[in-house]
Amino acid sequence: MDVEVSQPIAAELEAVEEAYVDPGFYAALGQIPHIDPPKLLETSPDPDDPSVVHFKVRYAFGGNLSAAARSVLDPAKLTWTDTSVLDRAHHEVRFEMVPDHYADKLRFMGTNSFQSSGNGVTTQIMKATLAVSYPVVGPLVERAIFLGIRENLSKEAQILASWAAARGSRRPR
């Protein structure tokens, strides 16, 4: 299933991009329901291009699954690593979510592109491919995951705006 979500973020483009490589931002994402606070595992600049940063983030599901979902998924095994590349010159993050378990059942990869909309607002456009390989229920699970992603992006945008505002107030003027 191909998905696309457009999300306004009340923060400047540079602050949005900076958030993706700041451990404090990921700690703040612990406010999102159904996931444990993500952890920035590593960041490394590209040796050939200083505008490019490679990074990895660890996620774990922290919510409740329906009985139907629990019949095929163990909530304790719903952990994954987001392997991403931030390209500041093109205002884009390329990502792949790699499950620690069920890797043969789930594929999620795509891009987040960012455009300054003016007046301190950045528009995030996520385009991704989501595939769940479970007989019969695969399309239903894909739809449920997509709805969760859309909801989480909205909450993430609110957290990012607060993070950027607090960070801006601490910077020397």
- Burial tier of 119 (Cβ tally within 10 Å: 0-12, 13-18, 19+): exposed
Which pLDDT belongs to residue 172? Answer: 45
Q: List the beta strands (DSSP E) in the chain.
A: 2-9, 39-46, 49-60, 79-87, 92-99, 106-118, 121-132
Whether 9 shows a pLDDT value over 90: the answer reads: yes
pLDDT tens readout for residues 103-150: 888 899 999 999 999 899 999 999 999 998 877 777 877 888 888 888
Mean pLDDT, range 92-108, rounded to an integer: 92
CATH architecture of the domain with range 2-170: 2-Layer Sandwich (3.30)
Band of pLDDT at residue 8, cut at 50, 70 and 90: very high
CA distance 122 to 127: 16
**Residues paired with residue 88 on neighbouring β-strands, in sequence order:** none
Dihedrals phi, psi of 142, to nearest 5 degrees: -55, -45
Mean pLDDT, range 78-97, rounded to an integer: 96
Distance of CA 15 to the CA centre of its chain: 16
The set of residues, in sequence order, having a beta carbon less than 8 Å from that of 14 and lying 6+ positions away, is none
Answer positive or negative: Cα dihedral of 59, 17, 2, 152. Answer: positive
pLDDT tens readout for residues 33-84: 888 899 999 999 999 999 999 999 999 988 777 776 677 778 888 899 999 9
Q: In what order do the strands lie in the sheet with 106-118?
A: 2-9, 121-132, 106-118, 92-99, 79-87, 49-60, 39-46
Kind of pairing between the strands at 121-132 and 39-46: unpaired
Which pLDDT belongs to residue 170? Answer: 52
Whether 98 shows a pLDDT value over 50: the answer reads: yes
Which pLDDT belongs to residue 173? Answer: 41
CA distance 35 to 93: 21
CB atoms within 10 A of CB 81: 16
